[in-house]
Amino acid sequence: MFHVYHSNQLDVLKILAAAVIKHDPLDDPFASEMVLVQSPGMGAVAADGAGANLWYCC
């Protein structure tokens, strides 16, 4: 599924991404989720908080 969310608040985007991943998980538990971000720096910030929002650590 393809989702697009626009926001300049990374905390909001991290919460939205976690909600989408929890609500609509992939069929294959070993498949990787793919998240496209604007820049490598934004990806690093998003990855740092992903575990906290999904209740596991990467």
Q: Sign of torsion, CA 14 58 28 43? A: positive
Each residue's pLDDT tens digit, 10-53: 888 888 888 888 888 889 989 888 888 888 888 887 777 666 66
* Token output for 17: 């991404």
* Token output for 7: 């926001």
pTM of the model: 0.64
Instruction: Count Cα atoms within 13 angstroms, Cβ side, for 40.
Output: 0
Could you tell me the pLDDT band of residue 54, with boundaries at 50, 70 and 90?
low
- Domains of the chain, by residue range, sit at 10-54
pLDDT value at position 51? 63
Q: Note whether 37 and 10 are within 8 A (CB).
A: no
